[in-house]
């Protein structure tokens, strides 16, 4: 008789554990895939895409068809000047020199679990071109799935839509020299 109670008790415990585990499995949030896969490596041709910018407008890459255009991709940490690098100042200088001649876009990547702080960082940087908040966090998925693995990245796309330059790193004028040469060829 003791064996029957022991077996019944063990079965009861197992079924309770199994049911509670099933409830826990259902509670895990479903991870959604980013909407747009954006190929930005040298030689690739990114698909046309749309994304909401930090100023509430919609960026549509199709508007740049037939033009050279630049994409800057950086981690949100670069919004704050470090002891060794000021990406915002460098970007603003590039925008000042070429922003009225070559369409430009910024994609901000990284992880953010403090949305108000991120919005303040973006606002304080006061970058004058369209920016897409591509950060992810506990309650937020990235709108773009880009294949940029080194930031800050400076990317040039030609009129046919092909990536003709993808450089990584700061404190270099290579991208500005490319843009300068390109702008001179427009004349």
| pLDDT for res 35 | 73
pTM metric for this prediction: 0.80
| pLDDT for res 113 | 92
According to CATH, the topology of domain 36-186 is Glutaredoxin (3.40.30)
Give the number of other Cβ atoms within 10 Å of residue 43's Cβ: 9
Of the chain, the end-to-end C-alpha distance in Å amounts to 98
**Stretch among 14-28, 45-59, 125-139, 156-170 having the lowest mean pLDDT:** 14-28
| pLDDT for res 65 | 95
Query: In which residue are the tokens 């309650």 written?
Result: 139
Q: What is the pLDDT of residues 170-180, one digit of tens each?
A: 988 999 999 99
3-state secondary structure the chain: CHHHHHHHHHHHHHHHHHHHHHHHHHHCCCCCCCCEEECCCCCCCCCCCEEECCCCCEEEHHHHCCCCEEEEEEEHHHHCCCCCCCHHHHHHHHHHHHCCCCCEEEEEECECCCHHHHHHHHHHHCCCCEEEECCEECCECCCEEECCCCCCEEEEECCCCCEEEEEECCCCCHHHHHHHHHHHHHC
| pLDDT for res 32 | 58
Q: How confident is the model at residue 33 (pLDDT cuts 50, 70, 90)?
A: low
Give me the sheet containing 69-75, strands edge to edge. Answer: 130-133, 104-109, 69-75, 153-157, 163-168
How would you classify the pairing of strands 69-75 and 104-109? parallel
Q: What is the pLDDT of residues 41-59, one digit of tens each?
A: 999 999 999 999 999 999 9
Q: Looking at the DSSP assignment, which residues form a beta bridge with residue 50?
A: 60
| pLDDT for res 14 | 61
Query: In which residue are the tokens 């966090």 written?
Result: 137
pLDDT at 20 over 80: no
Query: In which residue are the tokens 């300068």 written?
Result: 180
pLDDT at 167 over 80: yes
Give the Cα separation of 111 and 160 in Å (integer).
33
Structure tokens at 43: 């030689």
How would you classify the pairing of strands 104-109 and 130-133? parallel
């Amino acid at each position: 008789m003791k064996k029957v109670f022991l077996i019944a008790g063990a079965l009861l415990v197992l079924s309770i554990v199994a049911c509670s585990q099933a409830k826990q499995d259902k509670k895990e949030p479903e991870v959604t895939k980013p909407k747009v896969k954006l190929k930005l490596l040298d030689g690739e041709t990114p698909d046309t895409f749309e994304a909401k910018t930090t100023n509430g407008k919609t960026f549509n890459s199709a508007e740049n068809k037939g033009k050279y255009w630049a994409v800057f991709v950086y981690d949100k940490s670069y919004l704050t000047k470090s002891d060794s690098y000021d990406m915002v100042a460098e970007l603003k200088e590039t925008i000042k020199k070429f922003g009225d001649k070559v369409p430009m876009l910024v994609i901000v990547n990284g992880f953010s679990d403090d949305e108000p702080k991120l919005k303040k960082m973006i606002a304080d940087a006061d970058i004058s071109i369209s920016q897409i908040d591509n950060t992810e966090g506990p309650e937020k998925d990235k709108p773009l799935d880009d294949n940029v693995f080194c930031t800050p990245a400076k990317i040039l796309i030609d009129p046919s839509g092909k990536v003709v330059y993808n450089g990584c790193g700061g404190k270099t004028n290579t991208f500005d020299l490319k843009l300068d040469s390109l702008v001179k060829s427009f004349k």
